[in-house]
Structure 1
Amino acid sequence: METNSELLDKENLTRVIGEYPTEPGNQSPGPYLLLSGGIHGNEPSGVLAIQRVFRKLRKVKPSLKGKIVGVAGNIVALKKGVRLIDQDLNRVCTLANEQQLKSGELPDFHEASEFRELMLIIEKLENEAHNRAFHFMDLHTTSSNTAPYISVNCSESSFDFAKQMPLPVVKGIEKYIPGHFDHYQTLKGHIGFTMEAGQHDDPKSADYHEAAIWMVLVNAGMLEKSAIPYEDYYQLLDNASPTNENFEVIYRQEISEDHYFRMDPGYANFTKINQGQRLATLDGETIVSRAQGRVFLPLYQTQGSDGFFIVKQA
């Protein structure tokens, strides 16, 4: 079976993956939904899932309220199959950088130009949407094998929206690492979340992402349940994760560029841990858990500044 990286058509990748409906005259009043995949270039699953959804929309032509738009994130990194080029795109999406870009100043790192293009697309959609609800869904995967889950900023409307999904929901990560693309959109007043669907190259990740997109279209009031096999998608996600509990981030293990971090083997998302339990090494020194809870986003790849997080039940 081909991996997600092998399935991605890197040569023909474009910023806007699709829009539906395609003609303004065919649009019915309703919310807007922005889907984003590949904010990290080694995470093709979201792009593949968005492409699938638009192929089906164009083929079936269901009645849709509002408008759905899908975009690819770090185009150059996606084509190279690497997480980032100069800086992590999912750390530079801040209001301060937005103002700098609007002033005509382009910071001296590649991801600034990627963020600028995404920013302009959002502005265009905001102008189209006027006072309609604006939802978003940012699609990600992880370096380790893990069950799907949702990450949401500390926004009650987004938290409530995320809890409609049959997946565990983790809130509050923006307190530790601001600059996420989803945090930027939350600060703009949009409602939505990030969905992590599993390991980067696992084909099931694209299946989970696609199922979640269809469910979000229904949950946002854009599509009738009867238009899709909603229960099949629900069961697929419900069976994919060991828990549907809600969690909050309480600790982040930071890694600086000159440090060597190694996560101990065997940890997956939501693995229960005790205070004092060994988790990793940093420059050869043992790191133990500072609290009882569960491991979140253990790092098993070479690029990244977050070794792991600890979450507790919210």
Structure 2
Amino acid sequence: MPHTHPVLADFLSFTLSHHPIDIVKGQLTNGVHWHYLGDGILEFVPQHGSDQSLVLSAGIHGNETAPIELLNTLVQNIATGEQPLAVRLLMLLGNVAAMRQNCRYLQDDLNRLFDHRHQKLPDSPEAQRAANIEEAIAQFFDAASGKKYHLDLHTAIRPSSFSRFGLLPYQSRPYDAYLLSLLERCDLGALLINHAPAGTFAYHSSQHHSAESVTLELGKVQPFGQNQLAEFAGINALMRAMVAGTEPTTAAQPYKTFKVVAQLEKHSEDFVLNLPSDVANFTAYPKGTLIATDQGYEYIVSHGEERIVFPNPKVKPGVRAGLMVVEVNN
């Protein structure tokens, strides 16, 4: 194995150990250029450039470790030449401070602070990190000459009827047909289509950089070292194919498609989610079910059946406490 810089040999350990270094760059024996741009941000560029640019992000929530470990292995494989690289690639670990403390976030949910919403919370450590990440992807995508893609990888904090699912951010332009075809080949059970602008990283890259973006939820939160990475073979194969500029070898598997019809609004600490505390993602409720109440607010199921996703009554007031979705025909 050729000698590699500590950044490349173990990107995750290097990031967690808090090395106070400035930008570092180098070139691999196969001509690939790499730039370490600061905490958790690493860029690769093929020797002869590329007209396709890809952002792979994980750890936007610091305790969602499996995707972080997948990206770490991918960095190692690019560094040794085992993984071919045919695209401009930005590898990004999100909430590094929370990763170091093995928690979801320190003060504020980072995935609610993009779309420049961090400007409302200037003293929050997550707000500062959101600003840094926005600057990094702006520089990366501003240098792009062709198609731009962004996969933001997460794991869920509660059980789910679908252990792996994707969320397309709201956008006024059509969704990318090639991305949709790729998502059929990474073992997803469901795909959600969002209904409104949001503070998520995927919405930000779609809205501000016209990237073809998706959030991928890939199973259950586990501590570092306790993930069964074989469970993520589908998304791992997809990422590696996109990095190599090849087609995934997995067969297409149809998923169920849902659209978001509402988000649960937490206005105050009087908010009550009228569901079991351990309710699973995609649990279905019939028309007329009272889902949530708050001061001057209640949410009652108005469609024949609605399912709840990301229920979390413990969020701060002003932050969504869940999404309500309905199934649509593909």
What TM-score, normalized to structure 1? 0.75
Q: Which moved more, 1:291-300 or 1:133-142?
A: 291-300
Query: Structure with the greater relative contact order (CA < 8 A, sep ≥ 6): 1 or 2?
Result: 1
- Classify the secondary structure of the residue corresponding to 2:325: strand
> Which one of the candidate residues 188, 204, 212 is aligned to 2:235?
212
1:31: how far off?
0.9
Aligned to 2:26: none
Aligned to 1:151: 167
- Classify the secondary structure of the residue corresponding to 2:55: strand
- 1:111-130 aligned at under 5 Å gives the runs 111-129=126-144
**Residue 23 (structure 2) pairs with residue 12 (structure 1):** no
Q: How many residue pairs get matched?
A: 282
Aligned to 1:91: 112
- Mapped to 2, the partners of 1:198 and 1:291 lie a distance apart of 28
Aligned to 1:181: 201
CA contact (8 A) 1:143 1:299 kept: no
- 1:267-286 aligned at under 5 Å gives the runs 267-277=279-289, 279=291
Aligned to 1:161: 179
- Mapped to 2, the partners of 1:158 and 1:296 lie a distance apart of 26
Distance 1:67 1:160, change over 3 A: closer
**Residue 206 (structure 2) pairs with residue 190 (structure 1):** no
Distance 1:264 1:291, change over 3 A: farther
- Mapped to 2, the partners of 1:94 and 1:298 lie a distance apart of 20
CA contact (8 A) 2:307 2:326 kept: no
1:197: how far off?
0.9
Q: Which moved more, 1:81-90 or 1:253-262?
A: 253-262
- Mapped to 1, the partners of 2:117 and 2:277 lie a distance apart of 38
1:210: how far off?
6.0
- Classify the secondary structure of the residue corresponding to 1:78: helix
Q: Which moved more, 1:114-123 or 1:54-63?
A: 54-63
Aligned to 2:153: 139
Q: 1:37-60 deviations in whole A, cap 9, x for unaligned?
A: 111223222212211222233334
Aligned to 2:266: 255
- 1:68-83 aligned at under 5 Å gives the runs 68-83=89-104
1:114: how far off?
0.2
The letter for the 1-side match of 2:180 is A
**Residue 68 (structure 2) pairs with residue 52 (structure 1):** no
Q: Once the two structures are aligned, what percentage of the paired residues are identical?
A: 18
- Classify the secondary structure of the residue corresponding to 1:125: helix
CA contact (8 A) 2:167 2:216 kept: yes
CA contact (8 A) 1:296 1:308 kept: yes
Q: Which moved more, 1:133-142 or 1:59-68?
A: 59-68
Q: 1:18-77 deviations in whole A, cap 9, x for unaligned?
A: 4445xx6x2442411111111122322221221122223333434332222211111112
CA contact (8 A) 2:166 2:215 kept: yes
- Mapped to 1, the partners of 2:231 and 2:153 lie a distance apart of 10
CA contact (8 A) 1:162 1:169 kept: no
Distance 1:163 1:205, change over 3 A: farther
- Mapped to 1, the partners of 2:48 and 2:87 lie a distance apart of 6
Distance 1:182 1:107, change over 3 A: same
- Classify the secondary structure of the residue corresponding to 1:29: coil
1:250: how far off?
0.3
CA contact (8 A) 1:295 1:311 kept: yes
What TM-score, normalized to structure 2? 0.72
1:217: how far off?
4.8
The letter for the 1-side match of 2:105 is L
Q: 1:129-172 deviations in whole A, cap 9, x for unaligned?
A: 2x221111111122211211010023423476135313221111
Distance 1:16 1:76, change over 3 A: closer
